[in-house]
Structures are given as structure tokens and as C-alpha cells.
């Protein structure tokens, strides 16, 4: 059965009343299943869009994402358990700033959607704040222990900026132009139609477009049911923040001319052809805040090998139990 019929029942969005079980313990310190679900939610939503039928690829990528999330949480507890944190405090505005950054990046700044997904994960806001505070604490501890070495040279800073400058852009100002075919999950002209049949139609359309049996524009005019169907499915340029987060992540990752889909839409299936992208400019390295971030990134890379060796030693000595 297609995911469009069952998206409400999933590991990332549990039914109300699900017990918040222990996912793992690290030296007796618990990691809850709600923490795992809250961290996994953005990946899950994107995978649901990419793989409407779910299936082996969906399952393997979800398992890999879940494993990575749990490993990150275990590493966090390893570091916290090794440090004497008494008297080490994180300012509340730092925690709030990081939460706001995540809401912006993962939910396009939609706080209500963030809170709704948090509720579905089984985690309340206070617990989420505590989880974020732990992550910031670990980052600060790592900096104190491993990133105090020789300062980066000007050339190292310039090279790091050259390689990673796009990471400092205001991605919400990115713009994209695309054409889209929307196939409703239910045919409005045939009340007996099923999502399975509609998905097959969307799949066949994509194949026909790829084989040149029909143009994208003609397919849109004939089959699409959205506001731009008569225009051959061509939409005006839109900013990233005007799109659903999962959809934006998928289309901005594609190259101009690339065909994507069928993607799971809240009400059906979507085939997209990216026309062009205009990415926001990267901020100048002359910006003191950006320069500091680049400096920190170079220091972090230089200390990565020693940090990983330390974490591996902690892992070897720790008592770690996983239950999911």
C-alpha cells in the first residue's frame, strides 16, 4: 500500500500515548527513543517524499539514518560522562539561538510545525532544550580540550573559506525555477480510482517523458491538476522559504534539466523538472563573524584525528547498551 495512505503511522511519528522507552544507555546515562525520533524526523520526512512506495531503498536509508543519529547521541553521552561538568554553564540565549537556527533550516522557520513534529516524536519542548544544551556543551568542551592548538594560518583560512563558503550563505534567499506535474492521489473524475493507480500513472508519465514519447509541457497540460498546468507546468521563480522544507531540499539538490519524482505530495504525486537555480551569495570573509566560523572550522579539522582517537578510547572503556 502506498505511503500516502499510511504516513500517519510510522516510527518517526508515533501514535499518541506511545511510551518513551530507553533507546540506549551509556555508563548508565539514558538516551530516550523520543530523542532519536526527534532527531530522525527531518530525514524521515524527506525519505517519505522521495520514496512513496517505501520499499528496500527507503528502509535501508532510514536504518542508516537511525544508526547515525543513535551513534551521535551515544558519542554525546560519552563525552559528557568523561567531563566534570559541574560549574560549566551554557547561556540560555545560546540554546535558544541554536533551536531557532534548526527551526529555520529544518522547518523554514515554522515554529508550529516544529512543535507539532516534536509532539509526534513523544518529546516535550523542555526535554528538547535539554538535548540541545547537551550538544552545545559537548561542542564547547571539545573546543576547550582539542582546539586550542596553533592558530590557522591566513592561507589555511582562505582555503577553508574557498571550499566551504556556500555553507555560510543565507539559503532562504536561494531561488529556483521549475516545471511541475501534480497527479492527485484520487482522480477527481473517477471516485473509484486509488492512490496505487495514480502513482502508476505518475511513474508511467515520467518514463514517457524520459523516452521522449511526450514533452513535459504536454504532459502537464494533459494530466497535471495545479495552477500552472495550462502553462505547461512552469512555475515562476520561488525562494526556498516559499517551499515545503522537504521539497526544497530535494529540488535544490538537483541539477538544471534533471527530472525528479514521482515525489509524495501531501495530496498526491509530483514530477519536477528543474529549470534553473540562483543561489544567494556567500558572505565576505571580511565579516568578523564569518572569519571566526572559518577559523573554528579549520581548528576543528586539525583536531579531528585526536578527537576521534579520544572518543574511541572512551567507547572502548564505556558500558554501552542499545535497545532499538
What pLDDT digit, counting tens, does each position of 219-253 carry? Answer: 999 999 999 999 999 999 999 989 988 899 999 99
Query: Are 139 and 8 in a shared domain?
Result: yes
Query: Are 117 and 247 in a shared domain?
Result: no
Query: Are 105 and 206 in a shared domain?
Result: no
Query: Are 78 and 184 in a shared domain?
Result: no
Could you tell me which residues come within 8 angstroms of residue 179 by beta carbon, excluding any fewer than 6 positions away? Answer: 216, 217, 220, 228, 232, 233, 234, 235, 272, 273, 275
Which of 145, 162, 188 terminates a domain? The answer is 145
| CA distance linking residue 22 with residue 20, whole number of Å | 7
* 5: confidence class by pLDDT, cuts 50, 70, 90: very low
Asked whether residue 292 is assigned to any structural domain, the reply reads no
Query: Are 212 and 95 in a shared domain?
Result: no
Which of 263, 278, 293 terminates a domain? The answer is 278
* 84: confidence class by pLDDT, cuts 50, 70, 90: low
Query: Are 126 and 175 in a shared domain?
Result: no
Q: Quick check: 13 pLDDT over 50?
A: no
Domain count across the chain = 2
Q: What is the pLDDT of residues 191-226, one digit of tens each?
A: 888 999 999 999 999 999 999 999 999 999 999 999
Query: Are 177 and 73 in a shared domain?
Result: no
Enter the C-alpha cell of residue 29: 546515562
Asked whether residue 106 is assigned to any structural domain, the reply reads yes
Q: Quick check: 81 pLDDT over 80?
A: yes
Asked whether residue 131 is assigned to any structural domain, the reply reads yes
Q: Give the domain extent around 66.
A: 3-145
Could you tell me which residues come within 8 angstroms of residue 307 by beta carbon, excluding any fewer than 6 positions away? Answer: 142, 146
Residue 178, phi-psi category: left (phi > 0), alpha (psi -120 to 50), beta (remainder) = beta
Answer for the pair 263, 269: CB distance below 8 angstroms, yes or no.
yes
Answer for the pair 78, 26: CB distance below 8 angstroms, yes or no.
yes
- Each as own residue / partner, the long-range contacts of residues 193-196 (CB below 8 Å, 24 or more positions apart, any chain) are 195/2, 195/4, 195/5, 195/268, 196/1, 196/2
Asked whether residue 159 is assigned to any structural domain, the reply reads no
Asked whether residue 166 is assigned to any structural domain, the reply reads no
Q: Quick check: 73 pLDDT over 60?
A: yes
Q: Quick check: 6 pLDDT over 50?
A: no
Least confident range of 137-151, 177-191, 254-268, 297-311 = 137-151
| CA distance linking residue 128 with residue 118, whole number of Å | 8
Distances, alpha carbon 91 to alpha carbons 23, 97, 101, in Å: 28, 10, 16
Q: What is the pLDDT of residues 152-185, one digit of tens each?
A: 999 999 999 999 998 888 888 899 999 999 999 9
Query: Are 130 and 244 in a shared domain?
Result: no
Could you tell me which residues come within 8 angstroms of residue 112 by beta carbon, excluding any fewer than 6 positions away? Answer: none
Find the CATH number of the domain harbouring 20. Answer: 1.10.4030
Asked whether residue 114 is assigned to any structural domain, the reply reads yes
pLDDT the model gives residue 206: 96
Which of 237, 252, 278 terminates a domain? The answer is 278
Query: Are 135 and 252 in a shared domain?
Result: no
Asked whether residue 217 is assigned to any structural domain, the reply reads yes
Find the CATH number of the domain harbouring 259. Answer: 3.10.50.40
| CA distance linking residue 99 with residue 95, whole number of Å | 6
Query: Are 191 and 60 in a shared domain?
Result: no
Amino acid at each position: 500500500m502506498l505511503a500516502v495512505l499510511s504516513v500517519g503511522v510510522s516510527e518517526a511519528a508515533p501514535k499518541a500515548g506511545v511510551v518513551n522507552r530507553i533507546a540506549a544507555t551509556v555508563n548508565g546515562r539514558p538516551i530516550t527513543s523520543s530523542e532519536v525520533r526527534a532527531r530522525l524526523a527531518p530525514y524521515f520526512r524527506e525519505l517519505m517524499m522521495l520514496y512513496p512506495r517505501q520499499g528496500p531503498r527507503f528502509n535501508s536509508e532510514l536504518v542508516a539514518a537511525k544508526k547515525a543519529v543513535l551513534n551521535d547521541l551515544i558519542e554525546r553521552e560519552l563525552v559528557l560522562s568523561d567531563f566534570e561538568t559541574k560549574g560549566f554553564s551554557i547561556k540560555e540565549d545560546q540554546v535558544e539561538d541554536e533551536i531557532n537556527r534548526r527551526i529555520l533550516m529544518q522547518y523554514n522557520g515554522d515554529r508550529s510545525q516544529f512543535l507539532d513534529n516534536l509532539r509526534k516524536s513523544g518529546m516535550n519542548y523542555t526535554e528538547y532544550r535539554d538535548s540541545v544544551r547537551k550538544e552545545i556543551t559537548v561542542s564547547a568542551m571539545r573546543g576547550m580540550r582539542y582546539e586550542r592548538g596553533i592558530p590557522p594560518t591566513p592561507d589555511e583560512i582562505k582555503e577553508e573559506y574557498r571550499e566551504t563558503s556556500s555553507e555560510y550563505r543565507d539559503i532562504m534567499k536561494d531561488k529556483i525555477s521549475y516545471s511541475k506535474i501534480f497527479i492527485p492521489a484520487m482522480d477527481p473524475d473517477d471516485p473509484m480510482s486509488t492512490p496505487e493507480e495514480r502513482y502508476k500513472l505518475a511513474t508511467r508519465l515520467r518514463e514517457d517523458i524520459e523516452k521522449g514519447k511526450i514533452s513535459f509541457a504536454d504532459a502537464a497540460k494533459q494530466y497535471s491538476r495545479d495552477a500552472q498546468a495550462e502553462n505547461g507546468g512552469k512555475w515562476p521563480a520561488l525562494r526556498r522559504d516559499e517551499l515545503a522544507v522537504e521539497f526544497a531540499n530535494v529540488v535544490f539538490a538537483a541539477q538544471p534539466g534533471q527530472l525528479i519524482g514521482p515525489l509524495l505530495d501531501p495530496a498526491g504525486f509530483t514530477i519536477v523538472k528543474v529549470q534553473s537555480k540562483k543561489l544567494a551569495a556567500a558572505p565576505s570573509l571580511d565579516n568578523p563573524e564569518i572569519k571566526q566560523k572559518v577559523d573554528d572550522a579549520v581548528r576543528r579539522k586539525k583536531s579531528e584525528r585526536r578527537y576521534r582517537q579520544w572518543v574511541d578510547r572512551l567507547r572502548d572503556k564505556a558500558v554501552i547498551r542499545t535497545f532499538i
